[in-house]
Amino acid sequence: MADEKAAPAPDITSELTGQEVLKDGFIDPRFKVRFEEVIPELSSEFAAAHPAEDSSIKQPGVNAFNNVYCLVFDNRYPVPIKAIEALQRHEPKNVCAIIDIGKIETDKGERQALIVKKPKGMPLFDIIEQQGPLPEDFLIERILTPLYEALRALQSHNIVYGKLNAHTIYFDTTSSMLTLVENVSDFCGYSQKAAFETLERAICHPAGKGKLDQSTDFYALGMVLLHAISGHEPFEKESTEGIIIKRLELGSFEAAVESFAGVRLKTSTRFQQLLKGLLLDDEDRWGMEQFSNWINRRPAALHLNAKGVKEAPAPFDFDQKLHYSRRHVAYSFFTHWMKAKTTLKLVDLVRWVRLSVKDNGQAEILNDLAGGSNPNPSVATMVIQDEKLSRVLSVLDSNGPIRYKDYAVHPDAFGTFIAYGYYKGNREMIQWVGTMINDRMVDYWITLQDDPLSYDASVLEWQPSREYVHARKTSIGFGIERCLYNMNPTLACQSTMFEGRVVRSLPDLMVALDEIGISRAKENDPMDRHVAGFIAQRLDLQDDIRVKSIQRFPSLASNPQIMSLALLTVAQGQSRIRVLKGITAWMNIRLATYMESFHSDTIQRELKTRLDKAAREGNLNSLFKIVADATLASQDSVGFTEARQHYHMMENEIRNLEKESNIEKLAYHYGLRFSVMITYLVLAVTTLTVLFRMQ
C-alpha cells in the first residue's frame, strides 16, 4: 500500500562481526545470563540474581562468571531508576558498581534488569561466624573506614543505604577490600531486621519505612560494630515486638548493651564513645558530621537528652502496663488498637500530658481532639473513631509513622506501600492508602512536624492535596490507580494486557497496545483502569475528559469508548508515533457501541464507512475527529425527534380509532355524509329526468 513504509534493508552487521546488535533500551548483548541458575545471597523478594558473563573479556584461566551478575526485577516492583542512575553515574566508593541497566528477554517475557559487579570475598557475617569477635584495630582500619567512605558517598547523593548489616558487607581477605552489595533490589529497609533500624522505622511495615531517614544507616552501623566486636548478632533471639518494647523502656543504646549482659566486650573508651554516639535515639544520635570527626580523630561530643527515656515522673496506665513516655503510649495504643478505641478516655490522656509530661501545647491539641468524645468523666468508656485515634498517635509521637489499624507507614513511603499492596494483591493495603488520603492524614501529620516545609511535595515526591482530588474522582484516568502511578513514576503499567512486557513510558504503552492490536478487540477495550491511570499520570491530566462538541448529547458525552479514544489520541500525539494501525483498528471495532447510539440506519452506515476509512490511516486523531463532529449527531437527533412526533401523532389516531365510542361517532358522521351524498345524487337524477321529458 502507498501509505506503508518500505521494509528496511536487513542488518548484516551482526553476521559480519559475530556479535548481536544492541537493541535500544535493552541490556548489552555481550552479557550472557544463566537464567536457570540463581544466586540466593544476592537475590531479593523483588529481584532474582543470576550468574552473568561479560563475553567481551577474554582472559585465559579467568572464570568470566565471577565478575558480574544480572539482577532481574519483577515487573510489579517500582524500580528506583533515579537512584540507579545516580549510582551508575557517580560510582560510590566501596559499593557494588552498576554496569548496565535495561530490559532483558527471559522465558517469562521482558523484565527490567541490571548488570552489577559481583562483590569479592564473603559476607562479614560469615567471617564473624568463623573467627568470632574481631579486633578493634581491624574493625576501624578494614571495616569502619571503608564504610565511612561508602556512606559519605551515598549520602552526598541523597541515597539512604537502608540495609546495612553483616550480611550486606562483603570483605575480601586477600585484597582487604570491603564492598557493600547493591541496595536497589527492594524497598529501602524492606529486608532490614528491626534490631538494625531506628525506632521510628522498626515500628513501620517493612514496605512503609521510606528513604528519607539518613540516620538509620548510622544506627545500623553501630549495630554492625557491636555484632563484630562481640561475635554475636544483637537481639538475635528477640521478637520484633520484644526489641521495640525494650528500646522504648530503656533506650536503644541501653537495650543493646543489656542484650550482651554477661558478654565481655574488649573495647577502648574511644570505641565505646563511637558505639554510644551511633546507638542513641533521635536527635542525640550521631550523624555524618560527628562520625567524620571521630574517624579523623577530631572532637566528637555526645549530646545526651537530660530527661532520658522517661519523660514523666508519673506513668500512664494502659492495658495494665505503666508507660513513662508518649512514644511508648503511642506504640501500645497502636498494638492494642481495639482496646484503645474502647477503653481509652482521652480526658485522662490530656491530664497526663499536661500534668506529668508538662507539655501544655500538646495537651491543648489532644484536648481539641477529645472534643468529639464525651468529656464527662462519669462516662466509663466511649468508642473512639479510628481516624481520631490515628491522629492521637501522631500527636503523641510526631516523629513516628502514620498509624491506623493494622499498618504503620511513613508518609514518604506511601508510594512503596501501595505498590507493595498491588504486588501482593492485597486490597486491604490499597484501601488503607485510599483511606489515609481521603481523611487527609498526611496533611495533618505534616502540621505536627517541627519543620513542615521539610516534607513538601519535592521531598515526599508526591503531593497529598493533589492525591486527595485524584483519589476521589471516578472518571477515566483517576481513582486509586492514578495515585499508584503518581506515587511510583517509575512503575511499569500494571495492566494484565501487558503481562510479559515492560511498559514504562507512553511510547512503550502505545507500541504495546498496537502490537496487541485487534486480537483482543472482541473481548476487551484497549483501556482499563491501569492503562487510564498510567496515561493520565504521564500526561499530568488534572481535569475530567470532556468533548465539548458533543456535551449536549448525553449518550455520546458519557460513552466510555469516546473517553478512551480521546485519552489515547492525546497519548499518541505526545508519543510522537504517527502510525498505529493495530490500536486504531482496535478502537474502530470497539466504537460499535458509539454507532449503536444513533437511531438512523443511514447515518450508522455513513459513520461506519467514514470510521473504516479513517482507521486505515493508523491515526487515532482521524477517528476522534469523526466522533467529535456533532453534525451527524444533530441530524440524527432532529430526524429522531421528527419521527417520534409523527409516531406519537399516528399512535394517537390509532388509539382514538380503537375506542368504541369514537368508532360509533365516526360511523354516524360518515353515514350522515353518505346519506347527503345519495340525496344529492337522487335529486340530480330526478332533475335531469324532468328536464329531459319537458323537451
Q: What is the pLDDT of residues 613-635, one digit of tens each?
A: 999 999 999 999 998 887 877 77
- For 633, residues 6+ apart whose C-beta sits below 8 A from its C-beta are 550, 553, 556, 598
Does one domain contain both 132 and 260?
yes
Q: What is the Cα–Cα distance from 442 to 394, expressed in whole angstroms?
A: 10
Does one domain contain both 98 and 147?
no
Last residue of a domain, one of 117, 142, 164: 117
Write out the residue range of the structural domain in which residue 369 sits. 316-450
- State residue 3's pLDDT score: 41
Question: In the structure, what pLDDT confidence band is assigned to residue 5 with cuts at 50, 70 and 90?
Answer: very low
- Torsion 537-543-546-549 (CA) sign: negative
Does one domain contain both 344 and 434?
yes
Does one domain contain both 83 and 142?
no
Last residue of a domain, one of 50, 84, 117: 117
Does one domain contain both 291 and 320?
no
Last residue of a domain, one of 295, 325, 355: 295
In a domain? residue 548? yes
Average pLDDT over residues 552-564: 83
CATH number, position 51: 3.30.200.20
In a domain? residue 480? no
Mean pLDDT score of the chain: 89
Does one domain contain both 290 and 330?
no
In a domain? residue 381? yes
In a domain? residue 647? no
Question: In the structure, what pLDDT confidence band is assigned to residue 56 with cuts at 50, 70 and 90?
Answer: confident
Cross-strand bridge partners of residue 178: 171
- Torsion 504-507-509-514 (CA) sign: negative
Query: In whole angstroms, how far apart are CA 58 and each of 15, 31, 55, 278?
Result: 20, 13, 7, 46
Does one domain contain both 594 and 523?
yes
* Interaxial angle between packed helices 215-230 and 288-295, expressed in degrees from 0 to 180 and rounded to the nearest 10: 40
Does one domain contain both 84 and 203?
no
pLDDT digits (tens, 9 = 90+) for 367-410: 999 984 454 554 445 799 999 999 999 999 999 999 999 999 99
State yes or no: pLDDT of 359 exceeds 90: yes
In a domain? residue 472? no
Question: In the structure, what pLDDT confidence band is assigned to residue 339 with cuts at 50, 70 and 90?
Answer: very high
Does one domain contain both 598 and 671?
no
In a domain? residue 459? no
Does one domain contain both 523 and 595?
yes
Q: What is the Cα–Cα distance from 493 to 419, expressed in whole angstroms?
A: 12
Does one domain contain both 160 and 240?
yes
Q: How many structural domains comprise the chain? A: 5
State yes or no: pLDDT of 2 exceeds 60: no
In a domain? residue 592? yes
Average pLDDT over residues 431-460: 94
State yes or no: pLDDT of 186 exceeds 70: yes
In a domain? residue 65? yes
Does one domain contain both 172 and 112?
no
